[in-house]
Amino acid sequence: MPDPDSIPPAAQAAILAWYQDHGRALPFRRTNDPYPVLVSEAMAQQTQAARAGEAWVRFIERFPTAEALAAASPADVLRAWRGLGYNRRALNLQRAARRIVEVHRGRVPPDIRSLLELPGVGPYTARAVAAIAFGEPVGAVDTNVRRVLGRILAGDPAAMSAARLQRAADGAVPKDRAADWAHALMDVGATVCRPRRPDCEACPARTWCAFAGGSRPVAAVRGVASRRRPSPAFATTSRWLRGRIVERLRAASARTWTRVEGPIGMHDEAAVAAALIALARDGLIELDRRSTVAGPGQRARLSTS
């Protein structure tokens, strides 16, 4: 009796053939060097792949090795991270580079356990680097991959527990094409097996897919969104405010103190002051504790150490 959580070899072959013809030509896919692969995975978290690709080219030119990234100031790293958002990822990537230099002699470790010990590296990133850079037959499960495998195997990703889906993902990897398989599943999910209005007719896995075969929830067929509380407008969030502050400091000259005061957007002076303290606590900025210059707000700059 076939394993219900197993991707048939014919489906594997069809997905890989589709990727050969339709895969996205992203800059960071031109290399399997572990350090650039790690950088690309850090950038692609919660960022569109095309935008991450453009930033990756500039970033690797500026910091071509883990040693170069480790030796830079956080301010330089944050400036090179411009346009990617989620600035904590930049500092975590630099912390990871410093650990790579200090513990692994400048080489990204090949095993998942050591990768998971790097700052900012979670289960997905560790497996993606292991598969793409080192050819390890492990499944990197992000949102796109979860949707593709969950629909193929169960008709709905929600029908599979995280552990079951990870086992299925690991078992689906062709042993000699781990990198291509990781990219192929991501691309199928991003361009064909979309959350809404999936293009099942264009999907290479449709013959073997429970979702395409009709085993799907009614809401998915009708395109009805799940009932969730509406998210607050982005400009009202602390993340928006923190991003605006970092962007303002990023535009200033290195080591230059800039006075930051409220209001900024819809955020009053108290909210700006709280955001400054939080950014300093997270290591993204420094506050000028010695300032005697009169005036509202607080002088700050991107972190220099």
Q: Which of 41, 61, 67, 247 is catalytic?
A: 41
Residue 227 lies in a domain: no
6 and 146: one domain? Answer: yes
173 and 264: one domain? Answer: no
Q: What is the pLDDT of residue 216?
A: 56
Distance (Å, whole) CA 173 – CA 184: 11
Distance (Å, whole) CA 141 – CA 162: 9
151 and 14: one domain? Answer: yes
Residue 191 lies in a domain: yes
Distance (Å, whole) CA 213 – CA 12: 18
Distance (Å, whole) CA 192 – CA 218: 20
129 and 175: one domain? Answer: no
CB 15 within 8 A of CB 204: yes
pLDDT averages per 10-residue partition of the chain, 305 residues? 81 97 96 97 91 96 98 95 90 98 98 97 97 97 96 95 96 95 97 95 96 63 47 80 89 84 89 91 88 69 87
Taking the model in full, what pTM does it have?
0.81
Q: What is the pLDDT of residue 229?
A: 58
Tell me if residue 136 is catalytic: no
Q: What is the pLDDT of residue 250?
A: 86
- Domain limits at 206? 1-21+137-220
39 and 118: one domain? Answer: yes
Number of domains the chain is built from: 3
